[in-house]
């Protein structure tokens, strides 16, 4: 049980109904806890002044759940979008914060479905401009589509124009050197259409500081961008690609987040607080690629990710199996994070055979045991809901079964250590309306203290490992056990399936 109670539930539902009625002037409502010690959620207020009015009811000691109605214009059509706001004040009561994770599901179900989900404790992120940018990202109205007959549409970006030589981001030490120039270089990537025009842009940290500077821009695609990367740095980039869909050419943008395996530990610890501001700077984009090795950033990988997002790469799983060579599904999985254009995630793909021998340089110790464990997880009539595979002796290229069980994610996490690599499959259930559906999460855990030579070889193992665990709905990569929580995984599942942002 969630333990959450709603004060005057009928009044709350009436407020939500008013927000969802686009003939009503009411365009927002907000729910907060009854008092600092309470677990009861009550309607705080409603109004017709949008997010600017709603946020006047928020404070550093408040935890709030809100719904805002926005309109989005795409060409000559106006559509209504709903934004869910979760506000977690920095000074909210500690005990109340501890209960939030158990309440969120019930509160979200009460509020109902929505297009965009914003979680923040920074009031500057709750502006009408910021919400409009996220709505445009979600709907795709911020993207630029090139039609061979009509030419290019105008790009609408939520990043703003900005000015000044160095702008500091609130609540972090992050700064952008010559931000106006950076935004102009980024704009050039978005609006350029001619052959030979710049198609990539890259910024990175100045030494071990929290200051972002221009590293380069050019017309040579991902391969040119990658030439500026090294394994001791962190950098962020945008790459433009053109996708051919029937007779239409669509321009797509990929956000690149690179954190090298050997970047300074202190910088790595700090830049986790930069994610929101950096993503906001690069918005809008269609897909996001997180990488720790240069081999994970190629034009081919970017295009496959884009095709998966747009649905042009979706195939049908062939259930036919052969005794000699059991095929598994080949799949490209993308991350959306919540900042880019919401993609359609492909979860069912064409079956292919797993390569053998030294083609991928991976061997198995008791392959039957590994495959049978994966099969058990996929069978929802069996209690086993997780299995974990790792390397024999925590290095090398021999995969062994580390364990399986029925205790869910927490049991799987109990086997992970910071000097190992683990590949897991987890079965989760997701409730959508009154229906329960089974979802599979592929977990890739790369401990921060793994053997350096072993880390260098992992890129060559990735293809066969993904095929071993395919098909799955979500892949989740982590370097610390603290990143692996049921709440985070459930959110990722909701994003992938669309249940986190659809409207009835």
User: Is residue 217 within 8 Å of 185, Cβ to Cβ?
Assistant: yes
Q: Does the residue 42 lie in any domain?
A: yes
Mention every residue, 6+ apart, whose C-beta is less than 8 A from residue 500. Answer: 117, 491, 494
Q: Does the residue 317 lie in any domain?
A: no
Q: Are residues 486 and 451 in the same domain?
A: yes
Q: Are residues 262 and 386 in the same domain?
A: no
User: Is residue 49 within 8 Å of 28, Cβ to Cβ?
Assistant: yes
Tally of structural domains, the chain: 3
The predicted pLDDT at position 289 comes to 86
Which residues, in sequence order, are bridge partners of residue 45?
30
Q: Does the residue 87 lie in any domain?
A: yes
The predicted pLDDT at position 339 comes to 33
Q: Are residues 272 and 363 in the same domain?
A: no
State how far the Cα of 53 lies from the Cα of 28, in Å rounded to an integer.
Answer: 8
Each residue's pLDDT tens digit, 432-458: 545 567 888 999 999 888 887 777 777
**Domain harbouring 489, CATH code:** 3.40.20.10
Q: Are residues 381 and 420 in the same domain?
A: yes
| Number of C-beta neighbours around residue 7 at 10 A | 14
Preceding amide of 433 cis, omega within 30: no
The predicted pLDDT at position 169 comes to 43
Q: Are residues 120 and 159 in the same domain?
A: no
Q: Are residues 291 and 347 in the same domain?
A: no
**Which of the 8 DSSP states describes residue 249?**
E
User: Which helix (H) or strand (E) segment is 316 a member of?
Assistant: none
Q: Does the residue 9 lie in any domain?
A: yes
Q: Does the residue 318 lie in any domain?
A: no
State how far the Cα of 245 lies from the Cα of 387, in Å rounded to an integer.
Answer: 39
User: Is residue 234 within 8 Å of 258, Cβ to Cβ?
Assistant: yes
Mention every residue, 6+ apart, whose C-beta is less than 8 A from residue 91. Answer: 60, 61
Q: Are residues 301 and 420 in the same domain?
A: no
User: Which helix (H) or strand (E) segment is 155 a member of?
Assistant: none
DSSP letters along 353-374, please? Answer: PPP-TTSS--EESSHHHHHHHH
Q: Are residues 163 and 297 in the same domain?
A: yes
What six digits make up the tokens of 33?
């806890």
Q: Are residues 338 and 293 in the same domain?
A: no
Q: Are residues 284 and 254 in the same domain?
A: yes
The predicted pLDDT at position 351 comes to 33
State how far the Cα of 93 lies from the Cα of 96, in Å rounded to an integer.
Answer: 5
State how far the Cα of 256 lies from the Cα of 65, in Å rounded to an integer.
Answer: 31
Q: Are residues 93 and 119 in the same domain?
A: yes
Full domain range(s) for residue 68? 5-139
The residues of the chain scoring below 50 in pLDDT are 1, 141-171, 314-360, 433, 499-504
161 Cα distance to chain centroid: 26
Q: Does the residue 320 lie in any domain?
A: no
Q: Are residues 288 and 347 in the same domain?
A: no
């Amino acid at each position: 049980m969630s333990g959450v109670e709603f004060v005057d539930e009928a009044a709350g539902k009436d407020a939500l109904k008013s927000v969802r009625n686009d003939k009503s002037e009411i365009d927002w409502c907000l729910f907060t806890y009854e008092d600092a010690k309470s677990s009861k959620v009550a309607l705080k207020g409603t109004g017709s002044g949008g997010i600017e009015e709603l946020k006047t009811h928020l404070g550093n000691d408040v935890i709030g759940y809100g719904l805002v109605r926005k309109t989005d214009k795409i060409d000559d059509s106006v559509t209504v979008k709903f934004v869910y706001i979760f506000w977690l004040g920095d000074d909210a009561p500690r005990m109340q914060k501890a209960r939030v994770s158990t309440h969120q599901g019930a509160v979200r179900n009460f509020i109902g479905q929505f297009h965009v989900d914003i979680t923040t404790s920074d009031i500057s992120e709750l502006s009408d401009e910021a919400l409009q940018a996220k709505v445009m990202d979600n709907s795709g109205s911020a993207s630029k589509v090139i039609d061979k007959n009509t030419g290019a549409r105008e790009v609408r970006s939520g990043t703003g124009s900005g000015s000044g030589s160095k702008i500091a981001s609130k609540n972090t030490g992050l700064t952008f050197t010559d931000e106006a120039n950076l935004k102009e270089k980024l704009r050039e990537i978005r609006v350029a259409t001619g052959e030979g025009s710049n198609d990539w842009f890259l910024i990175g940290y100045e030494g071990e500081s929290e200051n972002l500077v221009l590293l380069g821009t050019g017309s040579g695609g991902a391969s040119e961008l990658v030439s500026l990367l090294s394994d001791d740095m962190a950098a962020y980039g945008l790459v433009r690609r053109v996708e051919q869909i029937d007779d239409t050419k669509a321009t797509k943008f990929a956000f690149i987040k690179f954190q090298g395996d050997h970047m300074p530990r202190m910088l790595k610890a700090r830049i986790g607080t930069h994610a929101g501001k950096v993503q906001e700077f690069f918005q809008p984009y269609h897909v996001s690629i997180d990488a720790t090795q240069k081999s994970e950033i190629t034009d081919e990988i970017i295009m496959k990710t884009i095709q998966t997002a747009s649905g042009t790469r979706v195939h049908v799983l062939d259930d036919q199996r052969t005794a000699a060579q059991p095929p598994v599904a080949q799949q490209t999985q993308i991350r959306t994070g919540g900042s880019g254009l919401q993609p359609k995630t492909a979860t069912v793909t064409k079956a292919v055979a797993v390569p053998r021998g030294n083609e991928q340089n991976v061997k198995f110790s008791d392959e039957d045991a590994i495959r049978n464990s994966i099969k058990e997880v996929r069978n929802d009539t069996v209690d086993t809901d997780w299995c974990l595979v790792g390397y024999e002796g925590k290095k090398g290229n021999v995969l062994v079964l580390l364990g399986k069980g029925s205790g869910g994610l927490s049991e799987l996490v109990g086997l992970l250590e910071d000097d190992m690599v683990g590949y897991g499959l987890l079965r989760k259930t997701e409730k959508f309306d009154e229906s329960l559906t089974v979802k599979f999460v592929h977990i890739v855990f790369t401990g921060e203290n793994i053997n350096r030579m072993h880390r260098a070889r992992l890129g060559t193992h990735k293809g066969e490992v993904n095929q071993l665990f395919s098909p799955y709905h979500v892949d989740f990569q982590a370097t610390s056990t603290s990143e692996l929580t049921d709440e985070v995984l459930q959110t990722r599942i909701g994003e992938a399936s669309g249940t986190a942002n659809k409207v009835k």
